[in-house]
Structure 1
């Protein structure tokens, strides 16, 4: 993914903010907000390190878990036609709808977790 960077073990999404003409980074997977800005990539990484350190220090002081936990479940709302198309594609691949969706998400997110057994 070309707009995701890892800084000190945490992933951040990077975007360009045209209103202020700066790069903006925002850590994902944290319980709170930790964003950062800079005019170039080198400075953005440095600002990201500072922002993350401040966030983690605050979490330690307040005894807050810094990272979100994920249950592994979420609801997806889509049109009946898209739902039917997904069921057909899963069946054609010899997979359950859940297995097919997990594979599609992993492919789109470029993760390297082991695939579920069919």
Structure 2
């Protein structure tokens, strides 16, 4: 689900026979949860919870946590960039896709260790 700049998950919880979810991309700084019995009511609860969160931040005079944008500015040496560009061109993938795959691969290996 999408509302304002926020995205939310939808999950079915069998033990309660209800739909639930949480706002995604908030890191460890904020947690917004919602649950209800139907999709329409879940969307309303999702939007109400975000509105409540934003109103609370405004009332407390604090900046609300914004979801991660998914964008990253990356600096690397020109030699490394040339290697990445050459590899990407030779394999037919974009530099962005190459970097995403490399990061995912590294994280997969880190999780195993």
TM superposition score category, shorter chain reference: 0.5 to 0.7
Q: CA deviation at 1:103?
A: 7.6
Q: Which residue of 2 aligns with 1:72?
A: 72
Write out per-residue CA displacement over residues 45-89 of structure 1, whole angstroms, 9 at most, x where no aligned residue.
11112111111111112222212475837xxxxxxxxxxxxxxx8
Instruction: Determine whether 1:92 maps to 2:88.
Output: no
Contact 1:12 1:25 in 2 (8 A): yes
* 5+ long unaligned stretches in structure 2: 74-86, 104-113
After superposition, the CA RMSD in angstroms is 3.2
* Greater C-alpha Rg: 2
More helix by share: 2
Instruction: Determine whether 1:101 maps to 2:99.
Output: yes
Q: TM-score, normalised by structure 2?
A: 0.57
Q: Measure the CA separation in 1 of the matches of 2:38 and 2:50.
A: 18
Q: Counterparts in 2 of 1:10-21, with a 5 A limit?
A: 10-21=6-17
Structure possessing the higher relative contact order (Cα contacts under 8 Å, 6 or more residues apart): 2
More strand by share: 1
Q: TM-score, normalised by structure 1?
A: 0.55
* 5+ long unaligned stretches in structure 1: 74-88, 106-118
Contact 1:7 1:45 in 2 (8 A): no
Q: Which residue of 1 aligns with 2:76?
A: none
